[in-house]
Chain A
Amino acid sequence: MSTAAAGAIDHHHDPTTSTGIPNKKLLMWAFLASDCMFFGCLISTHLIYRLHPPPGVPAARQIFSIELTSFSTFILLMSSLMMALAVNAIQKGNLRSMRASILTTILFGSIFLGCQVYEFNNFVYEKHLTITNSILGSTFFTLTGTHGTHVAIGVLWLTLMYVRSFKPSGPEAAKGTWLLLSFVHLIVFAATLVLSMYLVLHFTRAAQASGFSGGTCLSFVGSQYPAILGAITGFLALRWFAQPRGAVDFDQHNAVDVEMMGLYWHFVDIVWIVIFTAVYLLEYIS
């Protein structure tokens, strides 16, 4: 498109729609309205049962680890900043910067998810709060788990967008190797991410069990070397995938796609602020 070459795209106004709002953005707004009701019902369920606790329900304050959750909340908030930077970058046509910001957003989102996995593990095995043994466990795990699922979907979406940004333009696009390459790229990305999270979580557990020392590190490397090698290979492969290979079919015209994803991501963050307040902080009042 000739206008694309001129780089004069107004990212806030689409002249072809009745209102000037891009269709995709409007769709996401309407969806988020729906999601508000969705989380509203879940959070209400938690608060209602909190008001009417049955006898013998465990005290949430003794179970929660507010320091860890505060940390992961902070990380999630920062991921929103990176998401905003990604949108800004692609609106200016700066693909490299957008990729970097998206990767950081993915990283922060994964840290949040890792904290949640750690937290769930800790609650179930050490604090003995399970999804079945009390109403607190039922509402807590369902609510935060649903939110975690939203974050995981967000991470998946970001990953897909990242991989998509390597789709070639021109004659390469018609050949189809890129399609196969994209799928391999996606699978490698997901595998590396999961493997890294696994390693970090296990290392944390090992360090907690026997203190953080050279010996712990060595025995950890000794016992987990296949996973470590896998993760390293994964990172090298991802580095290879990220090499520039000519023109790509991803530019300012895709800004609305990134922005739509960003709206979702910010919304999920805002929901977490509400959950953090209503589920965690509320227990520390008085």
Chain B
Amino acid sequence: MADALLKSEFLGEDDHGAAKTYVLWRPTVKTGLMSWLTTVDHKRIGFLYGISALFFFLVGGLEALFIRIQLIVPNNHFLSAQQYNEMFTMHATTMIFLSIMPLSAAFFNFIMPLQIGARDVAFPRLNAFSYWVFLAGAIILNIGWFINDGAPNGGWFGYTPLTTRLYSPNHAIDMWVMGLQLLGVASIAASLNFIVTIINLRAPGMTMMRLPVFTWMTLVTAFLLVLAFPAITIALVELMMDRLFGTNFFEVSNGGMPILWTHLFWVFGHPEVYILILPGMGVISEILPTFARKPLFGYPIVVFSGASIGFLGFGVWSHHMFTTGMGTMGTSAFALTTMVIAVPTGVKIFNWIGTLWGGHIVMRTPMLFALGFIWMFMIGGFSGVMHAAAPADAQQHNSYFVVAHFHYVLIGGSLFSLLAGIHYWFPLMFGRRVSEFWGKVSFWVVFAGFNITFFPMHFLGLDGMPRRTFTYDHNMGWDTGNMIATIGAFILGIGVGIYFTVMIYTFFKGEKVGKDPWDARTLEWSLPAPPPEYNYRVIPTVHARDNWWYEKHHRAEVAKENAEHARAEEAHGGIHMPFQSIYPFIAAVGVLIGAIGVAIVDPDPGPGLIGKKLAVSLIGFVIMFVAICLWSLEGNGGYHIHPKAESET
């Protein structure tokens, strides 16, 4: 246990204080723009992810509203077919990669290290780099709105040969490809960091089977990201090679097979679905016990079903491809695995119900969203199991039934849980709490709007309305359903608007609350709100699964233990803090420039040896390379701080 206070021999030198002068400039500012560009604090990086995610959530929401306006009446001309394609492509890409995933990442960053009793992630500068590369990818994806080529328009699945040079000659698809590549780099780097952090930086006594479920789901999601993203990376590399260098991966006339893209994409794409939902399941597993006032029912089962969803998630991808003619054997196999994966999901739902059963349920806003999650996610799950039956799926394929299904899973599932998480952890992040009345109003409006929008789509789908068509004729019998859905979309938009207005109001003027306003169970609530930069003055010693509840009932014992550890740590020189660094940001700027070179600059062979495209790409590469060199040469030094004991509250 005392080991945790030692200095690692594996960190290289450890520079005490500012006595030493540094050749490489180490920024120390704690306020202003520079402090955000150079931050390595996981909480600040969490905020950066969160703010970006919410911004892109609004962008994606706006795109959704444009889609619904176009479909409100038959033969509408609000958008052209081309604009409609850009809208649905960017709506999906934005919502998946630029809002739900980074919002999860925001929670991973902010909450996970606190939950395991760590002072930061294992590689703070790499963490900053992940965020800046994510932002670079987001910029590349959205740059198309502002240039002539237009935004990407090949669907979020980018099926070949539609996305090959022949059918999409301008740079829109190149931007999509490079944008996703950068997001992949960012996700993999961040996930490697989280994996090492969770496995290696747990506080003493925090065994794997005492980890909070949210942290467990972070770990599973990180593994999914690390193992699933390479598939789309390769698919995108092959597409990029086809587009830029004329290879034949998807060129049918030379033996290429577009079906390969479909497989590679869904080998990534289906684990991606679990990447989107597992963090949400983790959040729910934190909220329900807190507001049901009893520990999570069947903790090991919840953890293991999460892990088995992760495993099985790699074996179901072809259920997206039942209509491609895989043959009876393949189709049956994937139908079976798809039904199997419903089992651990169902187990989780029963455990959540078991948690509620016999509890003293406190109906606060986060709890409302959490209960909404269970119900809505179940509806999405049920229609998912319907798709597992291949013959039925052949009928539902590419219809609005599928649209209804995955919006129930993504909004009713992922989004509801993340909105619940924002409400739940808001007091910890900002020391203020949302008013119950307005919180509940936002929930009910979102809930109503969501169901009015997407429930009719089940019927539209079964009536044969296909996805991704920009308009329809009025004799198809789809008029009423579409009208209702569009009205619902506006109600949903108003609900989201109320939600965020309330959040912004609360941030400035909300009710101030002290530490631990929900009387919660996990370690992060033992911190003052907002948590100090070093998180824990004394690294906690973990005695139980719901350790903060344990500490609240063993105050004297815990205080004694902490005082001892505080003395030991002071004897070792105080709390070690990593230096800030500008190089992750500069390296990401290099990545952005390089990606612009690859994706957007026209290949015009100039008079010299190097064309403009290659030149821009190389400049980006050199900036990145030099930044990485300086990054490694500056080393991971740090300084020590000696905080006074916080007043007991």
- The interface of chain A, by Cβ under 8 A from chain B, is 1, 3-4, 9, 14-19, 21-24, 26-27, 30-31, 33-35, 37-38, 40-42, 45, 48-49, 52-54, 57, 131-135, 137-139, 141-142, 146, 160, 164, 167, 173-176, 178-179, 182-183, 186, 249, 253-254, 256-257
Contacts and interface: CB of A to CB of B under 8 A. Distances in A.
A49 B264 CA distance: 14
Contact of B247 (A138, A146, A182): A138
A45 B633 contact: no
Contact of A134 (B241, B248, B632): B248
B234 A38 contact: yes
A132 B165 CA distance: 14
B162 interface: no
15 contacts: A9-B9, A14-B8, A16-B10, A18-B201, A21-B199, A27-B193, A30-B191, A37-B227, A41-B230, A41-B231, A134-B255, A142-B241, A142-B247, A174-B23, A253-B9
Nearest to A42: B234
A30 B255 contact: no
Interface in B592-636: 629, 632-633
A57 to B, nearest CB: 6
B192 interface: yes
Interface string B253-282: 011110010001001000000000000000
Contacts of A52: 255, 257
A16 B248 contact: no
A24 B632 contact: no
B115 to A, nearest CB: 14
Residue of A54, A173, A176 with most partner-chain B CB within 10 A: A54
In the A-B complex, list the 9 residue pairs whose CB atoms are closest, starting with the nearest. Answer: A54-B255, A41-B234, A138-B247, A37-B230, A38-B230, A135-B255, A17-B200, A16-B8, A176-B23
A26 B191 CA distance: 12
A16 B256 contact: no
B519 interface: no
B235 interface: yes
B231 A167 contact: no
Contacts of A34: 188, 192, 226-227, 229-230
Nearest to A26: B196
Nearest to A256: B10
B355 to A, nearest CB: 28
* Most chain B CB neighbours (cut-off 10 Å) among A34, A42, A135: A34
B10 A160 contact: no
A167 B255 contact: no
A48 B260 contact: yes
Interface residues of B, number: 55
Contact of A19 (B8, B14, B22, B200): B200
Contacts of B230: 34-35, 37-38, 40-41
B7 interface: yes
A135 to B, nearest CB: 4
Contacts of B257: 48-49, 52
A138 B192 CA distance: 31
Interface of B: 3-4, 6-10, 12-14, 20-24, 122-123, 188, 191-193, 195-196, 199-202, 206, 226-231, 233-235, 237-238, 241, 245-249, 254-257, 260, 264, 267, 629, 632-633
Given A26-B196, A30-B192, A37-B230, A17 B8 contact: yes
A249 to B, nearest CB: 7
Given A14-B8, A22-B10, A45-B249, A27 B123 contact: yes
Contacts of B199: 18-19, 21, 26
Contacts of A49: 255-257
A164 B235 contact: no
Contact of B227 (A16, A33, A53, A253): A33
B9 A3 contact: yes
Contacts of A173: 23
Contacts of A19: 199-200
Contact of A26 (B9, B13, B200, B267): B200
Contact of A132 (B226, B238, B245, B255): B245
Contacts of B21: 174
Contacts of B256: 49, 135, 138
A17 B229 contact: no
A54 B257 CA distance: 10
A93 to B, nearest CB: 13
Nearest to A9: B9
Contacts of B23: 173-176, 178-179
A132 B9 contact: no
B397 to A, nearest CB: 24
Given A26-B199, A45-B238, A160-B632, A38 B233 contact: yes
A137 to B, nearest CB: 8
A42 B247 CA distance: 14
Nearest to B245: A131
Contacts of A182: 633
Contacts of B13: 1, 249, 253
A249 B238 CA distance: 43
Nearest to B227: A37
A38 B185 CA distance: 12
Contacts of A26: 195-196, 199-200
A16 B246 contact: no
Nearest to A16: B8
A53 B237 contact: no
B336 to A, nearest CB: 23
B235 A27 contact: no
B241 A41 contact: no
Contacts of B193: 27
Contact of B196 (A16, A23, A253): A23
Most chain B beta carbons < 10 A, residue from A18, A34, A45, A48: A18
Nearest to A183: B629
Contacts of A178: 23
A155 to B, nearest CB: 14
Given A16-B7, A160-B629, A37 B231 contact: yes
Given A9-B9, A174-B23, A135 B248 contact: yes
A16 B234 CA distance: 37
Given A31-B192, A138-B241, 5 more contacts: A17-B8, A27-B192, A48-B257, A160-B629, A253-B10
A1 B246 CA distance: 57
Q: Which of B188, B200, B633 has the most CB of A within 10 A?
A: B200
Contact of B254 (A3, A9, A135): A135
Given A41-B231, A131-B247, A132-B247, A164 B196 contact: no
Contacts of A138: 241, 247-249, 256
A16 B201 CA distance: 8
A46 to B, nearest CB: 10
A49 B247 CA distance: 13
Nearest to B267: A41
A177 B275 CA distance: 48
Contacts of A42: 234
Nearest to A132: B246
A102 to B, nearest CB: 16
A166 to B, nearest CB: 12
A162 to B, nearest CB: 13
B205 to A, nearest CB: 10
B255 A57 contact: yes
Contacts of A33: 226-227
Contact of B633 (A22, A53, A167): A167
A17 B260 CA distance: 42
A18 B449 CA distance: 47
